[in-house]
A and B are shown apart, each in its own frame.
Chain A
Amino acid sequence: MSMRDLTLTLLLAVANAPAHAAPEGPRLGQPLEAAAISALDITVFPDGTGLPPGQGTAVEGKAVYDAKCAACHGPNGSGGSAEELAGGRNPLTSAEPDKTIGTYWPYASTVFDFIRRAMPLDAPRSLGNDEVYAVTAYLLHANGIIGEHDRLDAATLPKIRMPNAAGFVWVYPERQPR
């Protein structure tokens, strides 16, 4: 960071301070190096920011799914004790709506992000990035969103348009009546 950039950042930091200034701390924060941040940072955003290297297809993902996911989520993403991921038939406006990845989830990035950070439940963080891409591809394929040979990676995944992408209304921040 150049000195000019640094000055700008510090000025903006002041500009962004809350109206009622927070009490000053003793400044004990230790600098976080880039390597330490990348080891911690597992967030994947809808625009693809945060996606790691790696790739996979639904065909490859089926083997991983059958071995590590099907016991709880059922064959093909439904019928298990854990939540339904695919196979939803009832639309969201029906009396018993199905809220699957295909009918409800607005972003494909969320599928990758959640599998990588939290699944499988008994061994989170145990899947490699290729496996996560592959299982993501398998679930998107099971929901009829991509083909079984479509390759998911950091470039292709953010381009996927989910069926319910337009299905959400943000309640916050609250908009003033016009």
Chain B
Amino acid sequence: MKPYIEPRTPPSETAGTEPERRRFLKAGLAVTGAALAGTAQAVPPPPWMTRPGAPLSNYGQPSPHERAVIRWIAANADAPGNGISWTPLERLEGIVTPSGLHFERHHNGVPQIDPAVHRLAVHGRVGKALSFGIDDLLRYPMTSRLCFIECGGNSNAGWHQEPMQAPAGNIHGLASCSEWTGVPLATVLAECGLQPNAQWLIAEGADAAAMNVSIPLDKALDDALLALYQNGERLRPENGYPLRLVLPGWEGVTNVKWLHRLQLADQPAMARNETAKYTELLPSGQARQFSFVMEAKSLITRPSAGQALPGPGLHPISGLAWSGRGAIRRVEVSTDGGKTWQDAALDSPVLPKCFTRFRLSWRWDGSPAILKSRATDETGYVQPERQILVAERGRHGYFHYNAIVSWAVAADGSVSHVHA
């Protein structure tokens, strides 16, 4: 194949010879300049219109003017690989999270894995134990789906007595949404065959924490995906390269990254993360365990805490809603602290277990206001008010906070987080 070569400007009558063309251009500029001088102040064109731009690049980067649109990191200085980073939800639009801004939760750092040696082992209560290379899996039938992944600990500042003053993404940004592409887990399990007493699937990552969780087999056979691609390209290392388990709608920790082992078992492993962590202590002293599904939730991202309205008038309200049980049916918005509600418009597509963008135009009269959003999913579940959730769960559950979020707009247009 010959390389593509930009054709040279073909000679033609209209182009003329080079000196002629330059004379023509100079004359044109002189005429334009004269016209401007005669009518208004001469405004020089911006520099990007007066010299050639940057050459082509192999991999695009965001504009330097968008450098502030980054993940916010929290990690222990003694163990910097054991931490989290939040998606800046309040600075994004639409429903897809750019891969480089997808939230992170690591239990002992991001492994740099060579896909040529990484394998997925499937063993335990199977007909035959098998191992699959990444190149093998790339030959399997694939499917794509857009779905959110939300950490079980997302929004946990909501359990605090006092509302945390931070950008929306720094509180609720342990949730992101991508198009994941990979092999249905059921395809691989069918190849291995399942013994009748196989009821749980223990999934383990190849990271330094050997992070593992137990997953009921019915979920594994339903819509679990062995993801190889995220938003069209291979997974980012921090999101599980080269192989990640994606369980649509289930809490983030079950979406095991750097997946290397699946063990079929008749019982859950009772791993540290599904007993000591990711379980919700109730006021009774009992704790909820295997609370896999992320319940319906919504969040106004614009305007939100830390932002400011420049003045009264028409303003867009925009936000995200999602449910681990299916599609969002309705998002209502209140601008008077919950006294009255109106339906927001839902952008297409509205997909199950996926971020849904909602919008409403709001005419702000300049007086203090409290904004709320309330999601309802296709099962009829309605996102609860904060006091209802706290009354039911107490304040030490830590995980699965999905209450209505309230933003207060002050008379000067500044927006803050309130419990209202």
Is A26 an interface residue when CB atoms closer than 8 A count as contact?
yes
Looking across the interface, which residue of chain A has its beta carbon closest to that of B76? A81
Contact A29 B210 (CB under 8 A): no
Q: Among B128, B186, B286, point to the contact of A167 (Cβ < 8 A).
A: B286
- Cα A10 to Cα B279 in complex, Å, equals 37
Stretch at the interface among A62-70, A128-136, A149-157, A170-178: A170-178
Q: State in angstroms the CA–CA spacing of A10 and B218 once bound together.
A: 19
Residues of B within 8 A of A127 (CB): none
Residues in A neighbouring B194, C-beta threshold 8 A: 12-13, 16
Contacts of A101 in B (CB 8 A): 276
Q: Are B269 and A22 in contact (CB under 8 A)?
A: no
* Chain A residues, CB < 8 A from B183: 25
A113, B271: Cβ atoms closer than 8 Å: yes
Which stretch, A51-59, A114-122, A137-145, touches the partner chain B?
A: A114-122
**Cβ of A9: which chain B residues have Cβ within 8 Å of it?**
127, 193, 195
Contact with A along B161-203 (1 / 0, CB 8 A): 0000000000000000000000110111111111110100010
Contact between B186 and A45, CB atoms less than 8 A apart: no
Residue B79 interfacial (CB < 8 Å): yes
B145 at the A/B interface (Cβ < 8 Å)? Answer: no
Which residues of chain B are within 8 angstroms of A36 by Cβ–Cβ distance?
121, 131
* 8 Å CB contact of A37 from B123, B133, B283: B123
User: Which of chain A's residues has its CB closest to B395's CB?
Assistant: A95
B285 within 8 A of A: yes
Cross-interface CB contact of B202 among A43, A107, A124, cutoff 8 Å = A43
Tell me the bound Cα distance from A22 to B132 in angstroms: 18
Which residues of chain B are within 8 angstroms of A23 by Cβ–Cβ distance? 141, 184, 187
Cα-based distance from A50 to B222 in the complex (angstroms) = 28
Task: Summarize B's interface: helix, strand, loop or mixed.
Answer: mixed
Query: Binary interface profile of B, 113-128, with partner A (CB < 8 Å = 1, else 0)?
Result: 0000000011100011
User: Which of A17, A124, A172 is the one whose CB lies under 8 Å from B293?
Assistant: A172
When A24-B141, A113-B269, A118-B209 are in contact, do A172 and B132 touch as well, CB less than 8 Å?
A: no
Question: In this assembly, does A3 line the interface, its C-beta being within 8 Å of a C-beta of chain B?
Answer: no
Closest to A42 in B: B210
User: Looking across the interface, which residue of chain B has its beta carbon closest to that of A124?
Assistant: B208
Assuming the A-B contacts A22-B187, A43-B263, A106-B270, are A81 and B78 also in contact, with contact meaning beta carbons closer than 8 angstroms in the complex? yes
- The closest CB in chain B to the CB of A17 belongs to B190
Question: Cβ of B107 and Cβ of A118 under 8 Å apart?
Answer: yes
Q: Is B275 an interface residue (CB 8 A)?
A: yes
Query: Do the beta carbons of A121 and B79 come within 8 Å of each other?
Result: yes
In the complex, are the beta carbons of A169 and B289 less than 8 A apart?
Answer: yes
Nearest CB on B from A125, distance (A): 8
Contact A91 B285 (CB under 8 A): yes
Residue of A nearest to B77 (CB): A81
User: In the complex, how many angstroms separate the beta carbon of A24 from the nearest chain B beta carbon?
Assistant: 7
Contacts of A18 in B (CB 8 A): 186, 221-222
Q: Assess whether B275 is in contact with A105, with CB atoms less than 8 Å apart.
A: yes
Q: Closest residue of chain B to A169, judged by CB?
A: B286
B192: chain A residues at CB < 8 Å are: 13, 29
Contacts of B285 in A (CB 8 A): 91-93, 97, 167
Cα distance, A20 to B148, chains bound together (Å): 23
Q: Are A110 and B202 in contact (CB under 8 A)?
A: no
CB nearest to B261 among chain A residues: A40
Which of B141, B184, B270 has most chain A Cβ within 10 Å? B270
Cβ of B288 within 8 Å of any chain A Cβ, yes or no, is: yes
A-chain residues with CB within 8 Å of residue B130 when the two chains form the complex: 29-32
Q: Any chain A CB within 8 A of the CB of B140?
A: yes
Instruction: Tell me the residues in window 53-93 of chain B with beta carbons closer than 8 Å to chain A beta carbons.
Output: 76, 78-79, 82
**Is A109 interfacial (CB 8 A cutoff)?**
yes
Once the chains are docked, how many angstroms separate the CA of A121 from the CA of B293? Answer: 30
Which of A47, A110, A125 is the one whose CB lies under 8 Å from B271?
A110
The CA-CA distance from A40 to B205 in the complex, in Å, is 11
Most buried by B among A18, A105, A125, A170: A18
Chain A residue, CB-CB nearest to B198: A16
B363 CB within 8 Å of chain A: no
* Top 6 A-B pairs, shortest CB-CB distance: A29-B130, A13-B193, A22-B186, A32-B129, A114-B272, A28-B136
A-B contact pairs, 22 of them (CB 8 A): A9-B195, A10-B127, A12-B194, A22-B184, A28-B139, A29-B132, A29-B192, A36-B131, A41-B263, A42-B204, A43-B204, A46-B267, A81-B76, A82-B79, A92-B281, A93-B283, A93-B284, A105-B272, A117-B210, A118-B211, A171-B291, A171-B292
Further pairs besides A43-B265, A121-B208, A168-B288: 11, Cβ < 8 Å: A26-B139, A32-B122, A32-B130, A40-B121, A45-B267, A106-B270, A109-B270, A110-B276, A118-B211, A121-B79, A171-B292
